[in-house]
């Protein structure tokens, strides 16, 4: 196995390029999403292999609800089918499965399946696989601010202390509470932006961009990103 000097604890991926991949292969967009599931499986296996503890995937943004209804329905159906198909693999390989996002916008059937999968895998500790579904960074910060404000309103006698909270304290109001910030964020397909993804949590993440489309991003490409990360000097604004 390739020697990696510094393995990131948390790797996050903005999975981009499914539609373009399908177009290049003369297929419907749905075919790109289906092939992208194979990349999810490959990267999950690679994360376990190389010792990554958290792998998070940006699967569906709040903005994606504006896509054609047929495509949105197909994506949700694929998510449902894939989750059921992978449950046995999660259990056999010690993978904890979590879905984060504005889940109120998801259908009841999908939410029930998500809750069931999360409950059955909650004690697994080899890898935590986080799927961001119906998520946006701005929404996350706003819902955290609302929760924070409600606590102050409910406990006015403690308002002074609560208002002195530092950034680390604010973390617990985000949907990612208890999950370490991503050390490395990978984006496929050549786009070089965060696209409203984990805006608070990505403050000091290392960014890695590749022209490879998501359905073609497998273990080899995942390893290349890890090796690139291991060569970087993370200073967090300090001088070493």
pLDDT, tens only, 200-234 = 999 999 999 999 999 999 999 999 999 999 999 87
| Cβ 120 vs Cβ 87: under 8 Å | yes
| Cβ 76 vs Cβ 108: under 8 Å | no
Mean pLDDT, rounded, for 12-38: 95
Mean pLDDT, rounded, for 26-41: 94
> What confidence tier does 190 reach under pLDDT thresholds 50, 70, 90?
very high
Please provide residue 55's backbone torsions phi and psi, each rounded to the nearest 5 degrees.
Answer: -125, 120
Mean pLDDT, rounded, for 63-84: 93
pLDDT at 165 over 80: no
Catalytic residues: 16, 64
Query: Is residue 195 left, alpha or beta, with left meaning phi > 0 and alpha meaning psi from -120 to 50?
Result: left
């Amino acid at each position: 196995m390739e020697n990696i000097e510094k393995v990131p604890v948390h790797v996050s991926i903005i999975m981009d390029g499914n539609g373009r991949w399908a177009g290049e292969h003369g297929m419907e967009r749905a075919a790109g999403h289906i092939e992208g599931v194979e990349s999810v499986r490959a990267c999950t296996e690679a994360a376990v292999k190389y010792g990554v503890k958290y792998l998070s995937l940006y699967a569906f943004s709040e903005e994606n609800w504006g896509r054609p209804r047929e495509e949105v329905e197909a994506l949700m159906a694929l998510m449902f089918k894939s989750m059921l198909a992978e449950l046995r693999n999660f259990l056999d390989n010690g993978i904890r499965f979590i879905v984060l996002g504005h889940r109120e916008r998801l259908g009841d059937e999908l939410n029930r399946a998500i809750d069931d999968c999360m409950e059955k895998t909650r004690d697994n500790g080899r890898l935590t696989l986080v799927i961001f579904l119906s998520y946006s960074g701005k929404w996350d910060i706003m819902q955290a601010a609302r929760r924070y404000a409600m606590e102050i309103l409910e406990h006015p006698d403690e308002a002074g202390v609560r208002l002195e909270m530092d950034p680390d304290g604010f973390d617990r109001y985000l949907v990612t509470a208890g999950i370490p910030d991503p050390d490395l964020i990978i984006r496929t397909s050549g786009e070089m932006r965060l696209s409203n993804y984990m805006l608070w949590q990505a403050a000091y993440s290392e960014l890695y961009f590749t022209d490879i489309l998501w359905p073609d991003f497998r273990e080899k490409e995942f390893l290349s990103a890890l090796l690139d990360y291991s060569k970087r000097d993370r200073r967090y604004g300090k001088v070493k």
